[in-house]
Amino acid sequence: MFTGKLWPVHPHPYQDELLSSWLVRIAHANGEKVQSFCHHEFGSKHQIWNRDIDRLAPEWLLAKLSEKTATPIERVRQTTLKRYEGVLFDHSSLSGIKKWITPLRIYHRTRKSHGLQFCSECLKEDKEPYFRTYGRISLYTFCPKHNVMMQDRCPCCGEPVVFQRIELGKGNEETACDKPLSTCFNCGFDLVDSKSEKAVFWNNDISKRWSLLLSGMQENKLTKYQSEQLVVLHQFVKLFSHGVTAEKLLVFMESKTNLTIKQPNPNLRYFEVHDVRTRFQIIQCAWWLLLNWPLNLYQAWLEGSIRYNRLLKDLEKSPDWYIESVENLKLNYKTRQRLYHSLNK
């Protein structure tokens, strides 16, 4: 066990680095495997990796990291997903699917879903590859800096990113700690070498609005309207993600865009659980409904693809402009027909 106020090597977190990424780098920088380091420094009673520490880090762990690395506690908290509290969600819950956060589905320290995303171009630019907090945001299906698709698995073997397991089965301590975090724990492929794919948007308006929203979110400078857009976008992505409504809406979208749209996995109920490509498609559909507001939404309603009550179901803190537009769907039959004909001139 290390003695002294600071760990012998105590790197600070990189820009937007995830807590789990930082903790593994600290262990390796001190020449120890992750499990050994955590056992020595935090005690056997404190289990670290059987939970999603990026989302549910205990306060004692954050305080310890702050103390032993001489990092301000507020900077340490910024490595967790709580940095998005009040931006993407209202408060942190201890269980269940969190709004806009990709789940890891941890089971006995293994991960059952591909909840951590990365941009291979960002990894290439890093002096030391590390993983960002935005890699856990389901809205982040492309990298706005490089305009390429985010990736959520090893392209070689298909396994999720689990960098704290890259040393498992490696007997030599020094060799085990020498691997970069970008190493696939299963097959050893370096994710830095993943082939990037350009993000293709349906139109420039979607690309521009989406990129501006991500930028404002990262800089914590969202406008009031952008914050309201996030609320409505999430309502729409839920509708496109599961059930009969999703099936109808996606058929409608195909008719309007002349694109082939893949139906999401019917066994996955929540938007956040879907893979990155499916989410990229779903979010574009949601953005399309927001364009030309509210006429695109009205078209979907007039053609029977969405029911009035579904637009308000389980929606809290609805923006006034959204409520007003949805309430207008309570039109009588004749008015509705006139609106339909005006939209199809």
**Which amino acid would we find at residue 182?**
S
pLDDT confidence of 194, banded at 50, 70, 90? Answer: very high
| 335, pLDDT greater than 80 | no
pLDDT confidence of 94, banded at 50, 70, 90? Answer: low
| 174, pLDDT greater than 60 | no
Q: What is the pLDDT of residue 46?
A: 80
**Which amino acid would we find at residue 170?**
K
pLDDT (tens digit, 9 = 90+) per residue, 175-187?
A: 667 899 999 999 9
- Asked whether 20 and 54 are in contact (CB, 8 A), the reply is yes
pLDDT (tens digit, 9 = 90+) per residue, 80-93?
A: 999 999 889 887 66
Q: Over range 121-134, report the average pLDDT.
A: 97
Residues 194 and 183: their CA atoms lie apart, in Å, by 11
Q: Which two tokens stand for residue 74?
A: 């507020």
Nearest to residue 117, comparing CAs of 150, 147, 154? 150
* Cβ count within 10 A of residue 209: 16
Residues 315 and 300: their CA atoms lie apart, in Å, by 19
Q: What is the pLDDT of residue 168?
A: 75
Residues 55 and 2: their CA atoms lie apart, in Å, by 27
**Burial class of residue 270 in the structure, from the number of CB atoms within 10 Å of its CB (0-12 exposed, 13-18 middle, 19+ buried):** middle
pLDDT (tens digit, 9 = 90+) per residue, 30-70?
A: 999 999 999 999 987 788 888 899 999 999 999 999 999 99
Nearest to residue 52, comparing CAs of 112, 141, 122, 123? 112
Better-scored residue on pLDDT, 315 or 339: 315
Q: How far is CA 22 from the centre of its chain?
A: 18
- Asked whether 268 and 241 are in contact (CB, 8 A), the reply is yes
Q: Which two tokens stand for residue 174?
A: 């020094």
Q: Over range 146-160, report the average pLDDT.
A: 97
Q: What is the pLDDT of residue 333?
A: 52
**Which amino acid would we find at residue 309?**
N
Q: What is the pLDDT of residue 154?
A: 97
Q: Which two tokens stand for residue 277?
A: 């490509």
Q: Which of 15-29, 128-142, 297-311 has the lowest mean pLDDT?
A: 297-311
Q: Which two tokens stand for residue 321?
A: 């402009």
Q: What is the pLDDT of residue 331?
A: 67
DSSP 8-state secondary structure symbol assigned to residue 264: P
Going from the C-alpha of 59 to that of each of 128, 136, 147, 252, the distances in angstroms are: 27, 20, 36, 48
Q: What is the pLDDT of residue 44?
A: 77
How far from each other are the two terminal CA atoms of the chain, in whole angstroms? 76
* Mean pLDDT of the residues in the chain: 90
- Asked whether 222 and 165 are in contact (CB, 8 A), the reply is no
Q: Which of 75-79, 234-238, 321-325, 332-336 has the lowest mean pLDDT?
A: 332-336
pLDDT confidence of 133, banded at 50, 70, 90? Answer: very high
* Cβ count within 10 A of residue 256: 14
